[in-house]
Structure 1
């Protein structure tokens, strides 16, 4: 999904102007996602997004690819790029003659710090010319290269900034394996040819030769579009990840087999370069196929010579018209010489020295002020840590520990983590942003990782965390992986922890677990409790069996009773399920079957079936069908005022008002014809009703007399997309509309005859769906297809401002509801879950418990007036009720089923728990959550007593006992 880009630094000079123009070009092209641009430009998403980030000047090739994908003028942009390059390298810093110059001004740093050199940095990459030449010759001759070197020896830089530019006629494909290397490979290949990555992944898993065939397909497609590339150069960086974070040995072998075949096939058009840490050499020799190729493919990377170090220090500075003080050059060369893992430390120290340069000179004094060789890195990390508040320091500890893979006979390595593994709270988000600015971490759209493993070795605080919590980190890492597996297998109970593993994991500090991990452990605990209950039942049965052996006569009788009870229980459960299915066609019969089933076997499942069967006392049903659903994307939503006495129902052709004072016997009131409404909403006092039709027109009615609704006004919302939702602030003076044009509009409805536009809120990057005001009216929450929930300060609706962005859902956000006290927000999503959020201390927020019992999209959510109960409904026909008294650990109260299929909306009517739902086909059901009341009222819904034949069909072997005998 598209993500908002980070703001540009207005002090960035030429780079700011260049990036701003690139962003404007993308806007003019219709704001395509970077994934779409990557497909057209044949460069990675991160490369293209970095081009418009304003941090460094992209290469001319990347720039022109970006421009070409956006439909810009390449000739014009060649001129723009050259002017920007001249401005960046020609910045005069000689006027700085006083105190140390620590600002970043507009000049591009000649050193990359902890980051690896990339293609765009090739002009500043010096000192590895000899090694680069040897590697290029090797690849030209043998097509497969396995580059071994210590962490920090410069493997990534020499491949990216040295080898890749030496193959100008070859299309590059650069990636790291991650926990699922075959899947990562499939995504990269699928992006190149614009196809579904799932199909590619399946093909790769079934047949490694697929990689070779797809390369040929990619190259053939590029030649048809005029590209000169006739080969593909695959660079697999940080290959050790196939051992440190990939746990599937079969996938590891399939990935290696695919790479080897692509490189070694007789008609190969692929060259493969692999970079791997030298301490993983033994691991590589255990991979079939690779061990045979190593004797001809491997190449070591050693430490740089003194001459190479001098070139790496002096030449980048000279390129930027800077000088390196001779004392500094001598000190740096001495500090780095003979140390194979010293290059990231050297580069970082030079970067920090550059920030402290005097005029155009890099000085020994600046180097020492930065902390020297190794201390420069730890000083940067400590400055970052000390600037954080106490709570954010704790968030930093948890974040950095997650980003380290503990070594098994090897040194600890960095671990690339998907963003979804991190809790999306404001502390984590702030720490991530600041650590990235400090160049300690790198973050792209989907993943986060430590900038370089040198940080693990050189930051004492991180080393202390790892040493102190090593056992706990290992346990936590296993929990994270188990949670991911559980989710990927659709919550398969066989993957849950039990026994010692569950007990050990539950001993982890709760505040360090994400909501996903807590849900996994809670599911395991529930499974254990169910197993214990089964064991107790089994023991009871065993005890009974033993007793039978001791007393034959009593045993025979007891066995018969138990067998009959078991049989009768099974019959009752089957009958309860059948009652729910029958309730839409024959509600009278369904209620009797459900009631009899409950009396036979009084348990939760039969009780839920009874409540479900009773729900089909429809308020009204219209025969509009799917055609209307297609026209109004919000579906047909109900509206209920605060007193719950009236229901408004828009069905696409008319607006109908119902008297709901007795929900069992709703009474039709007034009607307005000819208005194809979608979303509607009452003011709190119920005197005014708002709605938006399929043409985007905002209507307001006076419904003081609900038998005779009167139009007050209508006007265009000015939205350019369909309007999904509308809500009204508690004081009845302000309304909000959410639209598929990605915006929210706020309206002044103090004079309902003349609604006025107050403000347009932007920030979501895709369709805005639900919008809802808080009970006090100070904030507005909005959900979107961009997976985010945004909260806005609307105290002054003419100048609304963003307060927080709640991240945690993995798919579209379709539903929102505030708790009555306004301290909790409930959200429902296409990811099959509803989430509770603590928003009592905005802008800080906290993800609480998940309500994850749905099998499909959660379409609507609601809080009861007491705030202790919530309802969620969905496409799976489920109507779930939850006890949310403990927001962190919500528990299921009832799992009801709407027999009419997909449930689109849920609204509470009364304080006694009565609520209504609306299906996709616009039938409305009322529900009672009080089982005692349902038992009392059930027979009121019966029109004719169940016959003996019907009874025998649903309750075989049970004596005829109609639960609602014929009344005289």
Structure 2
């Protein structure tokens, strides 16, 4: 690894001095470990740089960095040292003494500024990669969206920005929500932040509020507009009822805030000064706040309460709707993914906006696409090698309809350009660098795989669980991102150190975005562009949904101070427990494990209480026998009737308990014909032994001719075989039999017991060789020809 070396520090080397002081502070917080031990620890990490070379950092170079003598030429070297120091410092002091001291993203920005110090020296050593002649600031954001401070690098969406501003201005008089609709990856967040906000700045003084709904959208809104807090509390108390706050009250509260207050967390954009002749009220009217709600789809994916969603929409609509006394106090712009169009139609306010005040953010034109590639490079003085732009435009447009590109490909393009920038040569982006990065489709996967392969096995397991917990799976919708906090992810992990290590590696690769409070996958494009992650999500999707539901229920249980009414019971507990035993504790958070363990303890207590109740009834019967004849008879009659009633109540749900109660009843009255008849009727009845495994209803069971194997057909599209030679201890045989495309109605053995025929709703019959029931085999292609459901396969013929 090379360094950017400096001689005497002048007044222009403040960034490098700040970098050195920051590193010295972190070193001190880590306990001032010997430089040699840190250098050796870097070797043990077995990290590689962008060229695939092992990362090595000598003790002398670390010392030089701390003394501002030079700065690392590559961030990979610094990141390896930070990966040693930050965990040590965090163990000594979980809360950093200085904000951002443990934040790799802030370290990278500090390193970039230190590297940009114009001290005029070159990296030392022949193996060092020379620093670029241009500014080391990358104008491409990769998977991340462009921010307001990135507006100078935001190109290609000028037409879309003008259209959105026009839409906003058209809504000034009539009011109402303005919606920006586009596919995932079309650039909605970038247009709102780096396009719309600067455009509003040019028009005058505006207060711009920005929020992302999250799990509590109404709470996020009241955080920005505190005047709405009482009305929000009233809306929550009303719940699903009709007592939600009136639109006039909401409008009045927002108007009061807009005129007299500046809420925390807002971005104030200064405009041209008003002339002395301009009346103050008019100035205020022309500077109405603009509320931007980005990623509005989180209202549907993360907010669990329909009442909360509806109240949030109503608050936004009331705030941007004119009242009898004047215009709307604010204007509201919503950015939402196009695949949530249908969900919006269920809300009159959103449906009205989609009909009258919405803008669709489509693909860039070829000219705009060229500008998106060349504009950022031009802004920082980079050159593009001849033919690179044409190559990129051709690759981007290759898969789109009629030569147009897919609107969601822009994050992949930006990441490919970022990876190309990392391979620049003398201030030029080259075709070789672009191809080395993997191009449009391969750059994200290549970056992700490098980050993944740089982790040890334990850290890889932690990384997989971390990424899956940052994904929200829907029953019938595509997977989306979800946010978590660093503290929560560490607290829930069974291996916090490896979770922290994997998180830092993912942040370093810009696959995960980390700020002071939240952690999230940088862009949803990663969910599709990285084959490994896509496989994790799609593989055993049902298991992932079960895990996700279990973890969410565990969090709700913790939030409710461990309310026992939220614990699992019955089949739901058995399903979750069975999956957890199969998957292992590694794949569950600590909270979910505690939740499941508490549910199991509750079930054991319930069983003990049930048994105690039966024992108590028996004791009452014994005590009644020793009482006076009349009292004894009355008590015995009452107990007898109670036992019979209890037996009748649980006859279908727990036959074993019912049989025990019938026996108790007979012992209470040995001469009672009714009790004797009940007892005789169950003498030969087998006590129930449940067979669990199917995830749907079981339609038919059949025994093999020798009675040792049981076949069950289920709604879950599978047939299962069971070893019932020992009726008291049945066991599953082999894996479930798959093949039917719909529910299985029946499964019947042949007379010799060597063949099993299964039929189902898909109109097909499958034959299986069950000579060895533990290893059944399919016998050729399924039998087809029926147009409807096959309900029965008796022996060798079919009846439909």
- More deviation in 110-119 or 240-249? 240-249
SS at match of 1:127: coil
1:101 and 1:357 in contact (8 A); partners too: no
Match of residue 343, structure 2, among 266, 274, 283:
283
Structure with the higher strand share, 1 or 2: 1
- Partner of residue 454, structure 1: 525
Residue 325 (structure 1) shift: 1.3
C-alpha separation in 2, matches of 1:47 and 1:272? 33
1:181 and 1:255 in contact (8 A); partners too: yes
- Partner of residue 221, structure 1: 261
Q: How does 1:111-130 map to 2 (within 5 A)?
A: 111-130=140-159
Match of residue 106, structure 2, among 22, 30, 53:
53
SS at match of 2:390: helix
Matched, 1:385 2:452: yes
SS at match of 2:106: coil
Residue 162 (structure 1) shift: 0.1
Matched, 1:145 2:156: no
1:439 and 1:451 in contact (8 A); partners too: yes
C-alpha separation in 1, matches of 2:121 and 2:529? 32
State the 4+ residue runs in structure 1 displaced beyond 3 angstroms: 9-24, 46-52, 54-58, 84-96, 98-106, 197-201, 203-212, 222-230, 418-421, 537-562
Residue 202 (structure 1) shift: 1.9
Residue 222 (structure 1) shift: 3.8
Q: How does 1:494-509 map to 2 (within 5 A)?
A: 494-506=565-577, 507-508=579-580, 509=584
Q: How does 1:518-537 map to 2 (within 5 A)?
A: 518-537=593-612
Question: Scaled by the length of structure 1, what TM-score is found?
Answer: 0.47
- Partner of residue 315, structure 1: 375
Q: How does 1:256-655 map to 2 (within 5 A)?
A: 256-266=313-323, 267-337=327-397, 338-424=405-491, 425-506=496-577, 507-508=579-580, 509-541=584-616, 553-554=631-632, 556=634
Match of residue 241, structure 1, among 266, 285, 298:
298
Name the Cα RMSD after superposition: 4.2
- Partner of residue 217, structure 2: 181
Q: How does 1:789-938 map to 2 (within 5 A)?
A: none
Go from structure 1 to structure 2 and tell me whether the alpha carbon gap of 1:165 and 1:411 turns closer, same or farther (over 3 Å shift): same
C-alpha separation in 2, matches of 1:553 and 1:184? 68
In the alignment, structure 2 segments of 5+ residues that lack a partner are: 7-11, 25-98, 238-243, 271-283, 398-404, 641-800
C-alpha separation in 1, matches of 2:485 and 2:463? 16
Q: Deviations over 1:703-727 (max 9, x none)?
A: xxxxxxxxxxxxxxxxxxxxxxxxx
C-alpha separation in 1, matches of 2:437 and 2:456? 23
Matched, 1:132 2:203: no
Question: Scaled by the length of structure 2, what TM-score is found?
Answer: 0.56
C-alpha separation in 2, matches of 1:419 and 1:548? 62
Q: Deviations over 1:71-106 (max 9, x none)?
A: xxxxxxxxxxxxx9999699999999x999597996
SS at match of 2:332: strand
C-alpha separation in 2, matches of 1:430 and 1:102? 29
SS at match of 2:500: helix
SS at match of 2:143: coil
Go from structure 1 to structure 2 and tell me whether the alpha carbon gap of 1:55 and 1:145 turns closer, same or farther (over 3 Å shift): farther
Q: Deviations over 1:207-259 (max 9, x none)?
A: 55566414632541249999968432211111111122222111111111111
C-alpha separation in 2, matches of 1:305 and 1:227? 31
Structure with the higher helix share, 1 or 2: 2
- Partner of residue 202, structure 1: 233
Q: Deviations over 1:745-797 (max 9, x none)?
A: xxxxxxxxxxxxxxxxxxxxxxxxxxxxxxxxxxxxxxxxxxxxxxxxxxxxx
- Partner of residue 785, structure 1: none
In the alignment, structure 1 segments of 5+ residues that lack a partner are: 1-8, 25-45, 59-83, 563-968
C-alpha separation in 1, matches of 2:431 and 2:477? 36
1:15 and 1:54 in contact (8 A); partners too: no
SS at match of 1:342: helix
Go from structure 1 to structure 2 and tell me whether the alpha carbon gap of 1:428 and 1:539 turns closer, same or farther (over 3 Å shift): same
Residue 276 (structure 1) shift: 0.9
Residue 399 (structure 1) shift: 0.5
1:416 and 1:448 in contact (8 A); partners too: yes
Residue 331 (structure 1) shift: 0.9
Residue 405 (structure 1) shift: 1.2
C-alpha separation in 2, matches of 1:276 and 1:524? 39
Residue 140 (structure 1) shift: 2.0
Identify the structure with bigger relative contact order (alpha carbons < 8 Å, sequence gap 6+): 2
Residue 423 (structure 1) shift: 3.3
1:111 and 1:347 in contact (8 A); partners too: yes
Q: Deviations over 1:181-215 (max 9, x none)?
A: 1122223334xx8xxx9767525635555664146
SS at match of 2:146: coil
Go from structure 1 to structure 2 and tell me whether the alpha carbon gap of 1:291 and 1:21 turns closer, same or farther (over 3 Å shift): farther
- Partner of residue 108, structure 1: 137
